[in-house]
Amino acid sequence: MNSQNDLMLADLKKAAREQRKLDSGTKNKALLKIAEKLTLAANEIIAANSKDLEALAADTAAAFRDRLTLNPERINGMIESLRQVAALPDPVGEMIDQQTLKNGLLLKKIRAPLGVIFMIFESRPNVILEAFSLAFKSGNVILLRGGSESKQSAAAIYKLMRDALTEAGFKFMPFHGIEDYDRGLVEQLLKRKDMIDIVVPRGGDKLIDFVQRTALMPIIKNDRGMCHTFVDEDADLVMAAKIVTNAKTQRPGVCNALETVLVHEKIAAQFLPMLYKETDSKKLQWHVDSASLFILKDHERVTSAKPEDWDTEYLDLIMNCRVVSGLDEALAHIEKHGSKHSEAIITKSETKARLFQQEIDAAAVYWNVSTRFTDGFEFGLGGELGISTQKLHVRGPVGLRELTNARWLIDGSGQTRG
Amino acid sequence: MNSQNDLMLADLKKAAREQRKLDSGTKNKALLKIAEKLTLAANEIIAANSKDLEALAADTAAAFRDRLTLNPERINGMIESLRQVAALPDPVGEMIDQQTLKNGLLLKKIRAPLGVIFMIFESRPNVILEAFSLAFKSGNVILLRGGSESKQSAAAIYKLMRDALTEAGFKFMPFHGIEDYDRGLVEQLLKRKDMIDIVVPRGGDKLIDFVQRTALMPIIKNDRGMCHTFVDEDADLVMAAKIVTNAKTQRPGVCNALETVLVHEKIAAQFLPMLYKETDSKKLQWHVDSASLFILKDHERVTSAKPEDWDTEYLDLIMNCRVVSGLDEALAHIEKHGSKHSEAIITKSETKARLFQQEIDAAAVYWNVSTRFTDGFEFGLGGELGISTQKLHVRGPVGLRELTNARWLIDGSGQTRG
């Protein structure tokens, strides 16, 4: 690591000491200032983004191109999101617990920021302000490293943020956007547990695996959603078809979208054609087991699932379908193939629903609901830095509170331990 | 990894699925059964421990030999601790939050176990039951790997646990004690994020560093306590001398013991001789800066501190002492040398105390109290698996709740996302 990067880390660490002391008013004003400047500079940001889009190879997948694109609507979304975060309650200093012990000690458990957060993300440039605003409001500073495909967009947004924060009177910079896209630098940064408190990788399996193998500091990982929905024999089948269709097709490119539907054998012959019809307009591709194939054999776009399909997060209009003998087989399938993200059961039986919710060890377990609801906004957290699939610190949406932790303040009058 | 260890991990993972469903009564009965058997088998455990002690090299440090030793008093402590954990409230299933969203979704946030915990610890054999009982009560299963010096003691305790759990009617084993002390096995286990949810290393810098470099699963680290106490110019000096003496000498071998006292220059000439007198009977060794040396120059056991002393966790009757120009210099010293464990200020000024508590980013920050209070029992958590110095998930004592995390259960009536 060159001395410039050492300096950058030292600046961030120093900024973290200032940031965690800021009052809510100062933080909110700064967020609104960035929103204001973004309103004025929308065209410049879109122009920078156009350069990124022009630089893409002609055969770049449409979905990738779409994720990279900024347009007036998305800029407005970013502005709205900044305002929403400004309006959210500040978690820093929140008193979680307070008690006087028998020995007279006053014990307070209060929320404090995590410190310096290193976020590694892929090509969506709107992630920058989403992540920054949540980290900033929760008293943290953030080091951002996006995908190189969005470098012009990122540079324009970083500049706008710096300008706005300077105008808002900031003497320190509570973020740093890395514009050196050398991968070796990321590797070096992941070793700097002396300067970085937490790393948040947001991306595919390869990125997560690289970070897990390399990072010396704690990780909040946001990775794959291999989400299932089990349609029980006691399900309302009309409701089930609507829920599964929503979970799979409403926005297939996100981690809370469904990948595999598991259908009880007793209702499969009735339900699968219903579900096929419900999803037909979406031109959904079906990868199915032999029992489903037997039922759907005359239908278009239905092929036999390959073994690896049951572990594939398509992020596309492709769905796995398997007929199971009942709840136990559904549970075993999810235990084997799920990614601890979001799982659902559709049934009229509360007993089976509670058993499913108890047995499935995922961040969010649904009864008669689409898995698409696993989301910081939907859960009332006001936003999210990502959706955690690990079991330490936070499961599911990573909101403001999840970017803090509790520490202890103890007041006494000379107590010593005997 | 040989197939026997693969089988062991598969058994543990299966056990974790059973363990998290156990009701509190079943768990408490099992803990009391182990306590009962331990009462009857105390002599056998002590006999096994004697073999470990006999196998030690003649020049083994007395402190190490002491930590390894089990005697009737320590066995009674283990029995008492099992009973206390049985009496504690069960965190599993605790409803943290419940609300009905506008769209009619009932959103519940409830406590769930972490799963399979891998604990690596050093030679204190009483850690086995402490760690097991907390993991077990909080719905987890635990894989234990102690230091090889305690292997006979550990084998006897593991056998007693297995026997007691079998007598209590357990069809699965909610723990596994590793009796193969090959270090290569630990390394292999640290790669098994597919089978182990969390690793908890408890030991010195070398162990923590090895685990951080090797483990692919999240870590709760319990390492060094480089704890300071700042004696302000406005301190009650009699109180200050008592607190510093307690923090340093009452039990110097533990992580919440003080290593460095920082003394305001305005009261140093008066305070240091007072503190010297208060600690004199303990034959404390002082490593001091030049200003302190000038004040204490005629005193025995006072030597100049070497630069590395300010970062040395002595775990012994040795104390660093430095005179500082005031609060700012004290804060800067702690920022540079502290380990985010426990820090204290002694002052009559509430303003300075609050500033200190706000500025110092440690798990526990004390005002007019000995740092020795950072402890799961003292904080009312009923015990601790260790004391975390990291910023993710838990800071300070790791109790029952800290061995769980929140997940989301969502009940609906057909909601889909628009």
pLDDT of residue A2: 78
- A231 and A331 share a domain? yes
Residue A172 in domain: yes
| Residue of A138, A219, A245, A391 for testing the chain B interface, max B β-carbons within 10 Å | A391
Q: Which residues pair with A367 in a beta bridge?
A: A345, B411
The CATH number of residue A216's host domain is 3.40.605.10
B191 is written with which tokens? 């790669």
Cα(B346)–Cα(B231) distance, rounded to whole angstroms? 5
Mean pLDDT of B401-413: 97
Cα(A187)–Cα(B353) distance, rounded to whole angstroms? 40
Residue-wise DSSP of A141-155: EEEEE--GGGHHHHH
Residue B76 has pLDDT above 80, yes or no: yes
Mean pLDDT of B184-209: 94
Tell whether A294 lies on the interface with B, counting CB pairs under 8 A. Answer: no
Mean pLDDT of A272-294: 97
CB contact under 8 A, B411 and A379: no
Cα(A80)–Cα(A36) distance, rounded to whole angstroms? 11
B340, closest residue in chain A (CA to CA): A407
B392 → closest Cβ in A370, A380, A405:
A405
Q: How would residue A383 be classed by pLDDT, with cut points 50, 70 and 90?
A: confident
- A110 and A145 share a domain? yes
* Residue B249 one-letter amino acid: T
A240, closest residue in chain B (CA to CA): B414
Angle of helix A327-337 versus helix A350-359 axis, rounded to 10: 20
Other CB atoms within 10 Å distance of the CB of residue B123: 21
pLDDT of residue B121: 93
CB contact under 8 A, A393 and B405: yes
| Rounded percentage of chain A residues whose pLDDT exceeds 70 | 100
Q: Any idea which of A89-98, A127-136, A203-212, B334-343 has the lowest mean pLDDT?
A: A203-212
B395 → closest Cβ in A391, A406, A410:
A406
Q: How far is A155 from chain B (nearest CA, A)?
A: 30
Cα(A389)–Cα(B177) distance, rounded to whole angstroms? 28
Residue B222 has pLDDT above 90, yes or no: no
Mean pLDDT of B135-152: 97
- A166 and A85 share a domain? yes
pLDDT of residue B3: 87
pLDDT of residue B231: 98
pLDDT of residue A253: 87
The three-class DSSP label of residue B109 is strand
List, as ranges, residues 164-223 from B with C-beta within 8 Å of A: 193, 197-198, 212-213, 216, 218-220
Buried b (16+ CB within 10 A) or exposed e, A227-244: bbbbbbbbbbbebbbbbb
Tell whether B288 lies on the interface with A, counting CB pairs under 8 A. Answer: no
Let me know: does B120 contact B203? Beta carbons within 8 Å. Answer: yes
- A69 and A143 share a domain? yes
Residue A52 has pLDDT above 90, yes or no: yes
Q: What is the largest CA-CA distance in chain B?
A: 82
B393, closest residue in chain A (CA to CA): A393
A104, closest residue in chain B (CA to CA): B369
Strands (DSSP E) contained in A186-309 are 198-201, 227-231, 258-264, 285-288, 302-304
CB contact under 8 A, A408 and B363: yes
pLDDT of residue A232: 98
Residue A6 has pLDDT above 80, yes or no: yes
Q: How far is A402 from chain B (nearest CA, A)?
A: 9
Angle at A240 between CA A235 and CA A244, to 5 degrees: 145
Q: How would residue A122 be classed by pLDDT, with cut points 50, 70 and 90?
A: confident
The CB-based long-range contact list for B150-153 (8 Å cut-off, 24+ gap) reads B150/B49, B150/B52, B150/B68, B150/B123, B150/B124, B150/B125, B151/B52, B151/B179, B151/B181, B152/B48, B152/B49, B152/B51, B152/B52, B152/B55, B153/B45, B153/B48, B153/B49, B153/B52, B153/B68, B153/B70, B153/B125
- B97 and B185 share a domain? yes
Cα(B149)–Cα(A109) distance, rounded to whole angstroms? 38
Which positions in chain A touch B392 (Cβ < 8 Å)? 114, 197-198, 218, 220, 392-393, 405
Residue B383 has pLDDT above 90, yes or no: no
pLDDT of residue B2: 79
pLDDT of residue B264: 98
| Residue of B248, B337, B387, B411 for testing the chain A interface, max A β-carbons within 10 Å | B411
Which positions in chain A touch B17 (Cβ < 8 Å)? 335, 359, 361
Helical H segments across B23-95, by residue range? 24-54, 62-68, 72-87
Tell whether B294 lies on the interface with A, counting CB pairs under 8 A. Answer: no
Residue B387 in domain: no
ipTM exceeding 0.90?
Answer: yes
Cα(A120)–Cα(B414) distance, rounded to whole angstroms? 36
pLDDT of residue A366: 98
H or E element in which residue B262 lies: strand B258-264
pLDDT of residue A131: 95
Query: Could you give the number of structural domains in chain B?
Result: 2
B80 is written with which tokens? 């008492």
List, as ranges, residues 309-348 from A with C-beta within 8 Å of B: 335
* Residue B128 one-letter amino acid: I
List, as ranges, residues 59-78 from A with C-beta within 8 Å of B: none
Q: Which of A296, A319, A299, A323 is nearest to A309 (CA)?
A: A319
Which positions in chain A touch B415 (Cβ < 8 Å)? 368-370, 373
pLDDT of residue B223: 82
Cα(B341)–Cα(B310) distance, rounded to whole angstroms? 15
Which positions in chain A touch B408 (Cβ < 8 Å)? 363-365, 374, 379, 395-396
Which residue's structure tokens are 């920058």? A128
- B61 and B137 share a domain? yes
Residue A223 has pLDDT above 90, yes or no: no
Residue B379 in domain: no
pLDDT tens-digit profile of A339-363?
Answer: 999 999 999 999 999 999 999 999 9
CB contact under 8 A, B366 and A412: yes
Residue B383 in domain: no
- Cα dihedral: B358, B359, B362, B367 (round 10): -60
- Average pLDDT value over all residues in chain A: 96
Mean pLDDT of B42-63: 94
Residue A242 has pLDDT above 80, yes or no: yes
Let me know: does B395 contact B388? Beta carbons within 8 Å. Answer: yes
- B184 and B237 share a domain? no
The CATH number of residue A343's host domain is 3.40.309.10
CB contact under 8 A, B212 and A220: no
Tell whether B97 lies on the interface with A, counting CB pairs under 8 A. Answer: no
Q: How would residue B304 be classed by pLDDT, with cut points 50, 70 and 90?
A: very high
- A104 and A204 share a domain? yes
Helical H segments across A280-349, by residue range? 290-296, 327-337
- B257 and B147 share a domain? no
Q: Find how far residue B339's CA is from the centre of its chain.
A: 14
Q: Which of B412, B320, B406, B410 is nearest to B95 (CA)?
A: B406
Cα(B264)–Cα(B322) distance, rounded to whole angstroms? 9
Residue B245 in domain: yes
- A15 and A162 share a domain? yes
pLDDT of residue A214: 97
Give the number of C-alpha atoms closer than 13 A to the C-alpha of residue B321, restricted to the C-beta side: 34
Residue A194 in domain: yes
In this structure, the strands spanning B364-369 and B342-346 are parallel
B369 → closest Cβ in A21, A395, A410:
A410
Mean pLDDT of B332-345: 97
Let me know: does B23 contact B123? Beta carbons within 8 Å. Answer: no
Range of the domain at B217: 3-222+392-411
Residue B386 in domain: no
CB contact under 8 A, A407 and B395: yes
Which residue's structure tokens are 């204290």? B344
Q: How would residue A204 be classed by pLDDT, with cut points 50, 70 and 90?
A: confident
- B126 and B29 share a domain? yes
B390 → closest Cβ in A17, A218, A368:
A218
pLDDT tens-digit profile of A143-195?
Answer: 999 999 999 999 999 999 999 999 999 999 999 999 999 989 999 999 999 99
List, as ranges, residues 354-413 from A with C-beta within 8 Å of B: 357-359, 361-370, 372-374, 378-380, 390-396, 405-413
- B168 and B283 share a domain? no
Which residue's structure tokens are 């303990």? B282
Tell whether A243 lies on the interface with B, counting CB pairs under 8 A. Answer: yes
pLDDT of residue A119: 97
CB contact under 8 A, B412 and A367: yes
pLDDT of residue B205: 86
CB contact under 8 A, B410 and A365: yes
pLDDT of residue B260: 98
| Residue of A343, A358, A389, A415 for testing the chain B interface, max B β-carbons within 10 Å | A415
Cα(B339)–Cα(B337) distance, rounded to whole angstroms? 7
CB contact under 8 A, B408 and A369: no
Residue A330 has pLDDT above 90, yes or no: yes
